[in-house]
Structure 1
Amino acid sequence: MPEIIIVLLKVIGIAILGIILLNILITYILGLRVIKSNEIGIVEKWWSTKGSLKNSIIALNKEAGYQPDVLRAGIHFRSAIMYKVKKAPLITIPQGQIGYVFARDGQALEPTQSLGKVIKESNNFQDVRAFIENGGQKGPQRDILREGTYAFNLAQFVVITENKTYCIDNGNATEMQAIESMAEKIREHNGFKPMIIQGDSDFTGIVTIHDGPSLPNGEIIAPIVGENPQDGETYHNNFQNPEAFLKAGGFRGRQYQVITDGTYYLNGLFATVELVKKVVIPVGYVGVVVSYTGRKGKDQSGEAYKHGELVENGCKGVWKEPLNPGKYAFNTYAGSISLVPTTNIILKWIEGETDKTHKYDENLKEVDIITQDAFQPTLPLSVVINIDYRKAPLVIQRFGDIKMLVEQTLDPMVASYFKNIGQRRTLIELIQQRTEIQEEAADKMKEKFNHYSLELEEVLIGTPSAENDKKIETILQQLRDRQVAKEQIETYKHQTYAAEKEKILKESEAKARQQSALTESEINIDIESNKGAAEFRKALQEAEQIKALAEARAAEIKIIASAEAEKEEKVGIAKAVAINKQVEAYGGPQYQVAQIIGEKFAEAIKIAKVPIVPKNIVTLGRNGEHSNASILDTVLALTMNKQLGIDIAKDTEEDNGITEKEIDNTPITNVSKVNEEANDDESNKGNLK
């Protein structure tokens, strides 16, 4: 039994030994290697009949050292006697990230290079042999790794990602330190992620290139190159293709070309991007560009203008055409944009007051003046100016910016002008003639402002004042009191006028209330006047009839008296004498006729109710003397004298001393005498008949 156990133990020992020997045979002698699908095998040759490497790391000709080819997934035989195989994982670059490559072997970089050139034949660095044989260079590479999974020979390449650095430690501490420094630099610029410029962020990317030839002496911005998409060799697609950029003649340094909204896969070691705000030119402004780069242009400002060059857009200098309102992706390292307002600018020479929009006048204060009467007030001013957008480049060309124009030119010019104005006027004149001074200042200062390419719109003058001068305040108080007195006088005038109008109104209202009574009385007066006029005309007709009858009767009496006188001459004489005496006793036949006419006339006046004696009496004088005879007396005398042919004046000439010629000029003074005589001689009517 023990012998059997011993035999079994020997068999087992021999089997184990065989297995061990077989494993050694397969593993070390045959070199069986199993590479998983997520791995690669990096092969290092221990020895070779072709010797070892001298100046390189990768053995392209089967020398001893790291072999260029890697072992991919599967079973491979590499004898451990000659080869050493190191397994490494496949490298995956996640979506939205960038991987960087550092080459350990290859040609040395040129003096103008900081990154190794792109070798397209290397299949994104996965073919080490193609990389080296086609001129691949050692050091950090221009080409980058985009999203995907790669099988890298980590003996040749060091792959740097955001989270990890993949490499084979070759014991070179200096190299590993340089790689870590490079990785840290990339992180600082966020170079492991593509550059994304949002459309709503209002940012512009200013690119700085860290590879390629340096700029020529005197240049500060690299010119734009390789911007034509039709040229595949030089179109670098916004610096995403470093090789095309350099082929197009690009220089290292800040680039004039900027990148705008979009996503850009840039090599953070080749190009870094600085985000700056887009230049916004608001409405009411224009942007004057002062370019620091570009070709030399011809001066457009003319021979007489010696304040710098005004050049065509794109040249170095002040651009002739300003930028209109809008948003611009402007490279602020290549030039500057000065905003020039095209709306009215109000400049206040008032300390503590400033235009919050522009703030051009924040350092201005009131103008100190001395008046003709030796007062020293301060004069607050406001000046309204405007800049023609076409002249905005001239202003910037001459002064640099608007604030410098205000403080270094307009301030001393305006102050000097109003100091001169103050010396020619007293303080009161300065206050009272403000309108005239403003108009004069606007007219005279326009030419000066035009000389500086400015348009003067208006000059506004405030009230002179002095904080510690009480005499000025006294004068101002006197002017205020004087104005108050004038206003009081004007108020009294209006009150008087209102009182007069109120009186007229009340009278009108009173008349309106009595209007019906007044109308009725006026109608009654018209009716009575019309009746009186009718009666008066009727009386005149009756008087004419009586006159005619009297004349006929008088003629008849004359004939009878004459006939009887002849027949009875003697008796007749006595009878005639008696009759004559009788007639004389009653005033004569003329008097009787006049008496009858007067009675009819008086009766007509009575019925018509016409005033006999008027309010105004016109007297008629003789030889410059006044007469007491009334107009009615004169009318009756004339009527009797001319119509009846009776010479009343002759009969009464001896008593009154009035001739027929003078009767026409006798004034009417007493009309009532006619009525009295008519009443006294009423008894004579029968005798006359």
Structure 2
Amino acid sequence: INTKLFTIAVIPITNVTVGTVAVIKSNVGEAVDSKDRLVEVGQKGVWNKPLTEGKYRLHMQAYEVTPISIRQVKVSYTAEKEQGEGRGYQPMKPITVRSKDGFTFPVDVRMTYKINSKDAPEVVATVGDDALVLTKLVTPAVRAIFRNNAEKVKALEYVQNRSKQESQSTSMLKEELAKYGVTVLAVRIGDIGDEKSLGLLLKTQTDREIALQEQATFEEQQRAAEKQKELTKTTQEAEEEKRLATAMYNVQIAEQDKQKKIIGAQAEAELIKVTAEAKALAYKKISEVIGKNNAALIEIMKLVKAGKIRITPEVMVGGAGAGMTDALMGTVLRGMLDKEAGSGKK
């Protein structure tokens, strides 16, 4: 080789390792116009197909090589590093946002993204290498989207609807970064605020929740007391109704007993009346047949037989013409007089 015509330099082989691709920008070849700034392999400009894993002999003055990682990249916008975070971890400052009601507070955000092999040329053509992707594209997008979302809601609402904010921010970041060939895999919100920024607000909310719970408990106890009161009243009313029904039943029984006794007395009176009338009628019939004196004598003998009249004479019988009948009548009359005398004394 004529060293006066040629300059000899030792250039290392371009080695594309596992997990990376090499995007080539050619300074030689056919110049063409392209809207997306990507050209076919062999043309001048950024090739639309990257070099994959392998070793390549490239002239460094003719070709510019930009390595791009196609591994997942985890970015943590938080002051603390999570346990287990190692390779691929990119610590950043927490994102500070301002709410609709004027509260300024930090939000811990963890994000995972990657650049697919086919999208690597687009990333290099529009942004640059891995470092520029993070500092000039991903981080500004994350900060802007989280701040824009926070200023639309109040601080307490932001804290209470973390999952909603997380989902909303994820969708917006996916849409925004996809324009540059970056694929967002996950966005997670960690702690929101701290004691200095939201301590008083959260304490006020906690006190309010406790007050509401106590009020709810009191109202529940009050409802239980009202139900117990109604139950007691219903039980008392049931007992009163039971006693009233028992009293009414007893009144009915007493009324029935009364009617029974009245009917019994009336029946007995009617029986006595009928019996007396029958006896009177029988006496009248007997008197018509045998005479009143004989009929009276028969009745007297019945009383004697029943033991209601003594027949031992208590008067002296004397003189002619006195008979047994006169003596007996005297005894009867004596008995009747004694009976009347005894009744008068009573």
Superposition deviation, residue 367 in structure 1: 2.1
The question of 1:463 aligning with 2:191 is answered yes
SS at match of 2:184: strand
Taking the aligned partners of 1:408 and 1:418, their CA distance within structure 2 comes to 16
Preserved CA contact (<8 Å) 2:107 2:193: yes
Q: Is the 8 A contact 1:279 1:330 kept in 2?
A: no
Name the counterpart of 1:432: 160
Q: Whose RCO is larger (CA < 8 A, sep 6+)? A: 2
Three-state SS of the structure 1 residue aligned to 2:66 is: strand
- The offset of 1:358, in angstroms, is 5.0
Per the normalisation by structure 2, the TM-score is 0.53
Deviations 1:535-563, CA, capped at 9 Å, x for gaps: xxxxxxxxxxxxxxxxxxxxxxxxxxxxx
Alignment equivalent of 1:380, drawn from 108, 125, 150? 108
Farther off after superposition, 368-377 or 322-331: 322-331
2:311 corresponds to which residue? Answer: none
Tell me if the contact between 1:338 and 1:401 (Cα under 8 Å) persists in the aligned partners: yes
Kindly tell me: are residues 655 and 338 of structure 1, through their superposed partners in 2, closer, same or farther at Cα, counting changes over 3 Å? Answer: farther
What is the distance in 1 between the residues matched to 2:56 and 2:13? 9
TM-score w.r.t. the length of structure 1 is 0.29
CA distance in 1, matches of 2:207, 2:70: 44
Check conservation: 2:177, 2:183, Cα contact below 8 A: yes
Query: What is the distance in 2 between the residues matched to 1:430 and 1:459?
Result: 16
Contact kept? 1:286, 1:340, Cα under 8 Å: yes
Q: What CA distance in whole angstroms lies between the structure 1 residues aligned with 2:112 and 2:153?
A: 24
CA displacement at 1:424 relative to structure 2: 2.3
- Deviation at 1:436? 0.7
Map 1:103-502 → 2, pairs under 5 A: 210-212=3-5, 252-253=6-7, 272-276=8-12, 278-282=14-18, 284-293=19-28, 295-299=29-33, 303=35, 305=36, 308=37, 310-350=38-78, 357=87, 361=90, 364-465=92-193, 470=196, 472-476=198-202
Quote the Cα distance in structure 1 between the aligned partners of 2:59 and 2:207.
Answer: 64
Deviation of 1:281 after TM superposition, in Å, equals 2.3
Q: In 2 relative to 1, CA 416–653 (structure 1 residues): closer, same or farther, beyond 3 Å?
A: same
Structure 2 counterpart of 1:287, one-letter code: A
The amino acid across from 1:410 in the alignment is: V
Secondary structure of 1:321's counterpart equals: coil
Cα offsets for 1:43-92 (capped at 9, x unmatched): xxxxxxxxxxxxxxxxxxxxxxxxxxxxxxxxxxxxxxxxxxxxxxxxxx
Identify if the C-alpha distance between structure 1 residues 340 and 656 changes in structure 2 by more than 3 Å, giving closer, same or farther.
farther
Q: Give the count of matched residue pairs.
A: 226
How far off is 1:443 after superposition?
Answer: 2.0
CA displacement at 1:474 relative to structure 2: 3.9
Tell me which residue corresponds to 1:145: none
Which consecutive unaligned segments of at least 5 residues does structure 1 have? 1-141, 143-208, 213-251, 254-271, 487-617, 630-650, 658-689
Q: Is there any run of 5+ residues in structure 2 with no aligned partner, and where?
A: 213-241, 255-259, 267-346
Give the 3-state SS of the residue equivalent to 1:415 in structure 2. helix
Q: How big is each residue's C-alpha offset from its partner over 1:475-504, in whole Å with a ceiling of 9 and x where there is no partner?
A: 456678999999xxxxxxxxxxxxxxxxxx
> What is the rounded CA distance, in whole Å, between the counterparts of 1:485 and 1:324 in structure 2?
64
In the superposition, relative to structure 1, how do residues 281 and 336 fare at CA in structure 2: closer, same or farther (>3 Å)? farther
Q: Which letter does structure 1 place at the counterpart of 2:46?
A: V
1:281–1:339 Cα contact (<8 Å) kept? no
> In the TM superposition, what is the alpha-carbon distance from 1:420 to its structure 2 partner?
2.0
More helix by proportion, 1 or 2? 2
Do 1:321 and 1:390's aligned partners in 2 also have CA atoms closer than 8 Å?
yes
Aligned letter for 1:406? L
Code of the aligned partner of 1:289 = I
The structure having more radius of gyration, on CA atoms, is 1
Q: Give the SS at the match of 1:336.
A: strand
CA distance in 1, matches of 2:32, 2:265: 127
